[in-house]
Structure 1
């Protein structure tokens, strides 16, 4: 790793670079995007590559801003795994895992396409919720406890899927990433589940 750069920052820089190239070169965008038809023809790498390209600058900004804000703390937890490369594995595997539900749901829709790191970013966000459920997030500068935000976010995502709202947003990837991000650290260290429950109850609300 380059001195002074965390894995979080490196992932952000790589994602920005690849996204900008893809915006300028349509063939790159078409080769990396999540494409059901292409995957059926053996291009399984798209399960990963689609997480490093974004639709536009705003899409890229919000994902990378969220990743930067929460990634550093989550990365600290994973430093003890895979000789310090645990966070990279976690992030890349989250991109793949988050895409699976959408692939299964749309497997007969060859025209289906998707892109963006939202699934992996949600995994990072919900890992942060696991570590500190009552930490304060700022949603449009409004302070809100992480666990409250997580609950509202998941409820809305389920509602959006059932109602068909926002069809261009991959809510299944958001949910899958969130669940993966919450459970994966617990699989590595089961005591985190107990710690989360204790922290959840250890609040003035109870």
Structure 2
């Protein structure tokens, strides 16, 4: 099998950075890659994948790629045991597809709606990580927060913001990506559920 010069996480980040920067400078390219229902109905089903490699702006791109960098390699080490070393790539791409499906069903006849960004797949990676180390400190805008606390706040914010619907962020993809990350990881390794519960009740800060 062809060996990549970097692990799969870094390779995905590099490809996403290159494609996103190209799309920043080419509205035509961006328009071709984003998730847009009318194009899907014309048979451009590759947009289920390509929308995850373009971003709205530098901040959107930076936040997703930093999150993927810090947590992707850990989840990759678990998933690479499966599907002939391609487990993490399939998990990541599956996250892109699964996270956008509910939005597509809801907006399939709405030509004014579109979506882009890797947030669904990145959410899948982050929430899969929480199954392994729920109390691990992660840094949110340089503030240390336990992963499980961040997960609760993240879900709550996504639900609240999704109901307000006054920004251009697809919060639904965040939630479905998170659900995908948890469900698929537990389906592959059910013993992780007991591991997660044991980790959860053993709060390290109070020992």
Cα RMSD over matched residues?
Answer: 1.5
Structure 1 residue runs of 5 or longer lacking an equivalent are none
Detail structure 1 runs of 4+ shifted over 3 Å in the superposition.
none
Report what 1:189 is aligned to. Answer: 189
TM-score by length of 2: 0.94
Distance in 2 separating the partners of 1:153 and 1:101: 19
Per the TM alignment, residue 100 of structure 1 is displaced from its structure 2 partner at its CA by 0.7
Q: Is the 8 A contact 1:126 1:150 kept in 2?
A: yes
Give the 3-state SS of the residue equivalent to 1:84 in structure 2: coil
Per the TM alignment, residue 196 of structure 1 is displaced from its structure 2 partner at its CA by 0.8
Structure 2 residue runs of 5 or longer lacking an equivalent are none
Give the 3-state SS of the residue equivalent to 2:138 in structure 1: strand
Q: Does 1:122 align with 2:123?
A: yes
Per the TM alignment, residue 164 of structure 1 is displaced from its structure 2 partner at its CA by 2.6
Per the TM alignment, residue 108 of structure 1 is displaced from its structure 2 partner at its CA by 2.4
Distance in 1 separating the partners of 2:81 and 2:197: 23
Distance in 1 separating the partners of 2:76 and 2:68: 10
Per the TM alignment, residue 130 of structure 1 is displaced from its structure 2 partner at its CA by 1.0
Distance in 2 separating the partners of 1:160 and 1:62: 18
1:129-176 deviation digits (Å, cap 9, x = unpaired): 11111111111222111001100110111112223343x110000000
Per the TM alignment, residue 91 of structure 1 is displaced from its structure 2 partner at its CA by 0.5
Aligned residues between the structures:
204
Distance in 2 separating the partners of 1:164 and 1:17: 30
TM-score by length of 1: 0.94
Distance in 2 separating the partners of 1:2 and 1:177: 26
Report what 2:178 is aligned to. Answer: 178
Q: Is the 8 A contact 1:37 1:111 kept in 2?
A: no
